[in-house]
Amino acid sequence: MTIPYKIYLDEKEIPKQWYNVRADMKNKPAPLLNPATKEPMKKEELEAVFCSELVAQELNETDAYIDIPTEIRDFYKMYRPSPVVRAYCLEKALGTPAHIYYKFEGNNTSGSHKLNSAIAQAYYAKKQGLTGVTTETGAGQWGTALSMACAYFGLDCKVYMVKVSYEQKPFRREVMRTYGASVTPSPSMDTEIGRKINEEFPGTTGSLGCAISEAVEKAVSTPGYRYVLGSVLSQVLLHQTVIGLEAKTALEKYGVKPDVIIGCAGGGSNLGGLVSPFVGEMLRGENEYEIIAVEPASCPSLTRGKYIYDFCDTGKVCPLAKMYTLGSGYIPAPNHAGGLRYHGMSSILSQLYDDKYIKAVTAKQTDVFEAAQYFAKTEGILPAPESSHAIKVAIDEAKKCIETGEEKNILFGLTGTGYFDMVAYQKFNDGEMENYIPTDEEIAASLAQCPKV
Amino acid sequence: MTIPYKIYLDEKEIPKQWYNVRADMKNKPAPLLNPATKEPMKKEELEAVFCSELVAQELNETDAYIDIPTEIRDFYKMYRPSPVVRAYCLEKALGTPAHIYYKFEGNNTSGSHKLNSAIAQAYYAKKQGLTGVTTETGAGQWGTALSMACAYFGLDCKVYMVKVSYEQKPFRREVMRTYGASVTPSPSMDTEIGRKINEEFPGTTGSLGCAISEAVEKAVSTPGYRYVLGSVLSQVLLHQTVIGLEAKTALEKYGVKPDVIIGCAGGGSNLGGLVSPFVGEMLRGENEYEIIAVEPASCPSLTRGKYIYDFCDTGKVCPLAKMYTLGSGYIPAPNHAGGLRYHGMSSILSQLYDDKYIKAVTAKQTDVFEAAQYFAKTEGILPAPESSHAIKVAIDEAKKCIETGEEKNILFGLTGTGYFDMVAYQKFNDGEMENYIPTDEEIAASLAQCPKV
């Protein structure tokens, strides 16, 4: 059977249910804790911050499948199913016997997979009768996705954008404004926590952790508002499983079983969404896969962090989560893969990593952009810097197959496009891109500030 | 039969032949003339500027179908077939009984339909053993497309970019550089004609016409180089017929016959590509369609120009073409739809318009952006300003159906995305966008400079 360049599923094959990998995990992810009492967060406590239905999803560890409401599936139909692409041209250019596939989530205006969860979260907010939501954004992909989702359902949208990205990506801001959102650089002087961070760290370029604190503060202090988050949380990974479910169905149609599955890892939403259905098979003892998380060398939470309870945000206003973390005070060097500049990692992925279902590696920024440019020239798509971490390692794996002669099936997540990352590409084109790798001392100092649980 | 949101054809259904509408035209487009002799350009004369195979296509008025080489079809498979989208959400938001469809050409890194011809032209240049090509670009879509195509085939690529776009779209330049192209703002001091235009019109923001002159001069003065063009020429319209052929096949699968077909018109490549197969049916007396070209009010060549012989470029180095023109000296006001800032119009479309197979209307820039934003919020895709001209008129037509109750099938060309047009969107978001409409005197003065043939 000839495999086409792009495997498109039918609209009817958009998943009708999300897959909740926690139901199949023997070792469940540790619960979120109240930072004051160190007791597991109660439903009512979480509902002060998050929409009720999303809290229910966050706490649901037993139902393996959760129905996707029709309204969300209808929105999905505007840009899903996304294709699984066979990278014939890349294979040819490399001269590898490996078969390379990527699940491409960039063909929508948000430019990434983030829209999958944004539309779900906006739907539940609207259904609950809220008037608006707040959030943070790093690279701007999540903020854009949420702006689109809120415009569709007629909700207000207030976005705190990590300052370094806000400055490097003015056009992202305009996309969000075009969809009617308000966008504030973080740390801002809008919130108590923002003012505090600005005072303590003058000139800081911000981080996802800071921006989360500000967005949460704004949400809980504004009537009719809740806070929504684009990664890390289990509900987000749940929504993102449409990626993995579609990828699995598409490959099965052609009798292809991936040997290696690769995804970039920031907070974990893309990686978790891509690999969950495959990990589910591993957990149920049905199949084996090699799963690789790729982190930036500048922000290596899985590979160099500790698996402990920590704050989800720099401002310490959020619940404690047990996760691989570099410490909530860790502010990574200005790295252009804004979406990967998070100090921690999804609790689900942290547990799966700790249980050895997932491996992790790091990639240096200049190597990542070299892979990105090579991919652009051969496969035609200019990738997001985040996604390019997965490209780098997919190419490495394909090169290994040249030596071994193995016809491995490599699947990676191409989470998005780099159209709003041209400042970073310009630095790379001009030979001015630098690598930053934290010292052990830096990481130890940051970890020393983690709460005792 | 339920029509899906997106109609995707199979890869095998990518057209195997381009459709050459001239074969079915009783009144053929007038031939290109040598500006010195006023005689029809000979094959050998054209081959000094263009690739041989492309010259053959340019002069071919008899073969209705021309084979698409396998190498080009293989490249098409990386991003084609492009979907025909049923705009269910837009219909619902408008409350129209009309059925709105759009052929979406924006799902590739060039961001537009331009790649369809770029890859063909790069292929023929490579096949001829050339080392490089030169071209001009307005909005930057054509330049990006050509950069991608040249990277794929390993050709040098030199792009003259209209200065106003070069300044408004620095990131477009970086995309081209990432693909290995060199990009120069036009008018430049690189060429004789560039220096002359800079001297005559100090501070000019340039135009497609200027940039063409520079690119042609550079091509004919550099060994192993030829010039390639992204619009206007009959060969380009030929390549772009993949748009219309795919659209027709997709709609026929669901028994849908479009009543109205709408496209934006700059040089005519998108419009010509979209409508050619439908016009072919009209020419052969098989079917009737209402076809509408939408021009910017700032550059109204069909609606306010004259059908006469004129230079294709401001510098008067190109052959003369009979076309609807505002005069080759017409430099439109800085208008953000850079891709529509051309003084003339494809000879094929000019003849079809003169023979009343096509209608034309104009749209004001602020109305266009209002339609663009409305479309973005309802259909999720942030459209290019060029494409938004078609959206504006599609919405107008759909609104008429509310009054008449007609269930018209409206098809329009969504040629591309607006991700690199955020300076323009920002002006619109800030309420600072202006409209510019030339006076009759301005147009008459410019037309007075046309050559006497």
pLDDT in tens, A105-130: 999 999 999 999 999 999 999 999 99
State pLDDT tens for residues A403-435: 999 999 999 999 999 998 898 999 999 999 989
pLDDT higher than threshold 90 for residue A11:
yes
> Is B395 a member of any domain?
yes
SS3 A289: coil
What Cα–Cα distance (Å) separates residue A168 from each residue in A139, B395, B428? 9, 35, 21
- B291 in the same domain as B149: no
The parent domain of residue B196 ranges over 17-67+114-227
Name the interface residues of A facing B (CB cutoff 8 Å).
4-6, 8, 10-11, 74-75, 77-79, 85, 89, 107-109, 111, 148, 151-152, 170-171, 174-175, 177-180, 373, 376-382, 417, 419-420, 422-423, 425-426, 428-429
Confidence of residue B274 (pLDDT cuts 50, 70, 90): very high
Task: With respect to residue A430, please indicate whether it lies within any of the assigned structural domains.
Answer: yes
| Mean local confidence (pLDDT), A150-165 | 94
CB pairs under 8 A between A and B: 124
Which pLDDT value is given to residue A206? 85
- Considering only CB atoms, B5 lies closest to which of A11, A109, A417, namely A11
pLDDT of residue B378: 96
Pair A325, A384 in one domain: yes
pLDDT at B342: 86
Of the residues A185, A203, A227, the one at which a domain ends: A227
Nearest to B175 among A378, A379, A422 (CB): A422
Rounded (5°) CA angle B37-B201-B298: 85
Same-domain check for residues A243 and A314? yes
Query: Does the pLDDT of residue A333 top 80, yes or no?
Result: no
Q: Does the pLDDT at position A170 exceed 90?
A: no
Cβ partners under 8 Å of residue B299, min gap 6: B266, B326, B330, B332, B335, B340, B341, B342, B343
B378 in the same domain as B281: yes
Nearest neighbour of A422 by CB, restricted to B78, B89, B174: B174
**Nearest CB to A419; choose among B78, B177, B419:** B419
Which residue, A227, A255, A275, sits at the end of a domain?
A227
Q: What are the backbone dihedrals phi and psi of residue A106, each rounded to the nearest 5 degrees, phi first?
A: -90, -5
B115 min Cα distance to partner chain A (Å): 10
pLDDT at residue A335 above 70? no
Is A151 in contact with B376 (Cβ distance < 8 A)? yes
Residue B75 belongs to a domain: no
The mean pLDDT value of chain B amounts to 95
Which value does ipTM take for this structure?
0.93
- Considering only CA atoms, give the Rg of chain B: 20
Task: Name the closest residue on chain B to residue A416, using Cα atoms.
Answer: B109
- Cβ contact, residue pair A175, B5, below 8 Å: no
For chain A, how many structural domains are there in total? 2
Q: Shortest CB distance from B420 goes to which of A79, A170, A419?
A: A419
C-alpha A241/C-alpha A237 separation (Å) is 6
Contact A4 B180 (CB under 8 A): no
- The residue-averaged pLDDT of B20-38 equals 96
> Mean pLDDT over residues B334-356, rounded?
87
| b/e sequence A372-401, b meaning 16+ C-beta within 10 Å | bbbbbbbbbbbbbbbbbbbbbbbbbbbeeb
> Could you tell me if residue B73 is inside a domain?
no
**B20 to chain A nearest CA, in Å?**
28
Same domain, B263 and B406: yes
State how far Cα A217 lies from the chain centre. Answer: 22
Cα separation of A111 and A120, whole Å? 17
B453 domain-assigned: no
Contact residues on chain B for A420, CB-CB shorter than 8 A: 171, 419
Residues B188, B261 share a domain: no
Residue B191 DSSP label:
S
Which of B227, B261, B277 is the last residue in one of the domains? B227
**Would you state the pLDDT for residue A297?**
95
Nearest Cα of chain A lies from the Cα of B129 at a distance, in angstroms, of: 20
Average pLDDT in the A307-328 region?
A: 91
Residue A75 belongs to a domain: no
pLDDT score of B335 more than 80: no
The model's pLDDT over B77-101, given as tens digits with 9 standing for 90+, comes to: 999 999 999 999 999 999 999 999 9
Question: How large is the average pLDDT for residues A45-53?
Answer: 96
Q: Are residues B87 and B191 in the same domain?
A: no
Shortest alpha-carbon distance between residue B78 and chain A (Å):
6
Average pLDDT, chain A: 95
Please tell me the distance from the alpha carbon of residue B361 to that of residue B295, in angstroms, as a whole number. 6
Whether A49 shows a pLDDT value over 80: the answer reads yes
Task: Note whether A179 contacts B78, CB cutoff 8 Å.
Answer: no
Q: Residue A340: which pLDDT band, with cuts at 50, 70 and 90? A: confident
The Cα of B422 is separated from the nearest Cα of chain A by a number of Å equal to 6
φ, ψ at B252 (rounded to 5°): -65, -30
Residue of A nearest to B3 (CA): A11
The token pair at A209 is 């952790």
CA distance B343 to chain A (A): 30
Question: For residue B245, how far is the Cα from the chain centroid?
Answer: 17
E-only strand ranges, B5-126: 6-7, 17-19, 65-67, 84-86, 99-104
Residues A130 and A262 occupy one common structural domain: no
pLDDT for A240 equals: 98
Of B148, B380, B382, the CB nearest to A79: B380
Structural tokens at position A55: 């809290």
* Same domain for A98 and A171: no
If asked whether residues B276 and B380 sit together in one domain, one would say yes
Digit-coded pLDDT (tens) for B205-259: 888 778 989 999 999 999 999 999 998 999 999 999 999 999 999 999 999 999 9
Taking contacts as CB-CB distances below 8 angstroms, the residues of chain B near A75 are: 380
Q: Residues of B with CB below 8 A from A179's CB? A: 376-377
Residue at B118 is within a domain:
yes
Look at B78 and A5 and tell me if their CB atoms are within 8 Å. Answer: yes
- Chain A residue nearest residue B420, CA to CA: A419
Of the candidates A316, A335, A324, A317, the one whose C-alpha atom is nearest the C-alpha of residue A162 is A335
Please check whether residue B26 lies inside any domain of the structure.
Answer: yes
Chain A residues closer than 8 Å to B379 by CB: 78
Among candidate residues B268, B289, B278, B270, the one with its CA nearest the CA of residue B248: B278
Q: Is A312 exposed, middle or buried (0-12, 13-18, 19+ CB in 10 A)?
A: buried
Looking at the fold, whether A216 and A293 belong to one and the same domain comes out as: no
Are residues B123 and B164 located together in one domain of the fold?
yes
Q: For A109, which of B75, B381, B426 is closest by C-beta distance? A: B381
> Residue A373: its chain B contacts at CB < 8 A?
178
Whichever domain contains B210, its CATH number is 3.40.50.1100
Residues 6+ apart with CB under 8 A from B202: none
